[in-house]
Amino acid sequence: MRARVWGCRGSLASPGPETIRYGGNTSCVEVRLDDGSLIILDAGTGIRPLGLTLRDELPRTIHLFLTHLHLDHLEGLGFFGPLWSPEVDLHIWGPPSPTRSLERRIARYFSPPLFPVHLLDIPSHPKFHDVPEDAWSIGGARIHARPVSHRGPAVGYRIRDNSKTLAYIPDHEPALGVDLREVEPEWISGHAVAHDADVLLHDAQYTEEEYVERIGWGHSSVSHVVTFANVVEANQLVMFHHDPLHTDDQLEDLLEEAKALWKGDGVGPVLAREGMELDLG
Amino acid sequence: MGEEHNLVMILARGMASAIATPWFLVDPDGTLVYYNEAAEAILGQTYAEAGALKPEEWGTMFRPEDLDTGKSVAPSDLPLAKALQDRVPAHGRLRITGLDEERRDIAVTAFPLFARTDEFVGAVAIFWEENGKG
């Protein structure tokens, strides 16, 4: 299994000279399973350049996993080339809601005045799936999706392929009302998704000072994400969902803080950046 | 994949740990999986000491009586049991005997917890002492 980061910025696309090293596109990760199956994690603006690379060898089937429907995870979908190809079998998976189907919720974005083309008129006619409670298979991989602590319906994904595990929880506030260092693991949001992951891509949006002003907004501080990664015994933490106001230099300061806090074994923390490739073997 | 409580239960426990109102949290089987510090004051024992309790334990160990009639209340008639069995909110006024042997008059409101569309994941009971203290 291999993964490539196409967007790791949180909340709002933030291109410019101060974000050029880690990138300004919002969340999107390409995952290639060992059997060649393509899974895409989230449809932030990073999915646009990913779509461009797929033009020459258009996959017949694409699985798009949406963690939730905040715009920074959805806004690139209309500009994803394969969406407009009728020969592509596009499956869109996302969190269930008590009130509306996934298709109806996404259709709010794919309709005027927010978007010029109605969802019904999209040539690929995507198929929508609420993520199931139980694990399911795509290609040779087993997939788990579990609700996680964020505002509104949101899930994290766990992809296990040939004994390697990638966990993806880009928007997550596991420390809300919980001391991660003291509570039992089964009482920690996201633990089941991230436990023993070889690679964990996880929300690391805030400094400690910023978090205090934004408690309950659904994101993690650096100390929270490091503690979470250590508690779940992740081998490698990829700090993800960078705050749109953080420059490259500030991100590197946060990385140093994360390294100092890291108490686990394994590779430890790194910063997600556009173009980063993760080979899980 | 490892074990993890439903997110609604995790958030309910997080709220319980932050709120001043005494708070019981039970899983779908009725096992008492958490009560907060405020509840410890009424029940007379810390959660760390009591641990997880089965319904037949928490339903009887506080020797509940109806506050108006003075008669014992069957475990199945407790508000929390009704919230579990019937999956509807329930309310009652009780006299209980804490694990510290203190008798206390309390009002109890219990309600079921549902996640996603209709998944029943547990129930909460909140308590007030009848003298107005939470």
Chain A touched by B51 (CB under 8 Å): no
* Chain A residues lying within 8 Å of B15, measured CB to CB: 177
Bridge partners (DSSP) listed for residue A164: A161
- Residue-level pLDDT at A266: 85
Name the nearest CA neighbour of B21 among B5, B39, B2: B39
Residue in B closest to A144 by C-alpha: B1
* Res. B1: pLDDT tops 80: no
Mean per-residue pLDDT for A24-39? 98
Query: Does the beta-carbon distance from A149 to B7 stay under 8 Å?
Result: yes
Rounded-to-integer distance, Cα A270 and Cα A204, Å: 11
**In this predicted model, what pLDDT tens digit does every residue of A219-278 receive, in sequence order?**
999 999 999 999 999 999 999 999 999 999 999 999 999 999 999 788 989 999 999 999
Rounded-to-integer distance, Cα A12 and Cα A205, Å: 12
- Residue-level pLDDT at B131: 67
**In this predicted model, what pLDDT tens digit does every residue of B63-102 receive, in sequence order?**
999 998 999 999 999 999 999 999 999 999 999 988 888 8
Tokens of A186: 């089964």
**In this predicted model, what pLDDT tens digit does every residue of A81-131 receive, in sequence order?**
999 999 999 999 999 988 889 999 999 999 989 999 999 999 999 999 999
Chain B touched by A192 (CB under 8 Å): yes
- Please state the pTM of the whole predicted model: 0.91
**Do strands A164-169 and A155-161 pair parallel, antiparallel, or not at all (unpaired)?**
antiparallel
User: Best interface-test mutation with A: which of B4, B6, B8, B47 has the largest number of A CBs within 10 A?
Assistant: B4
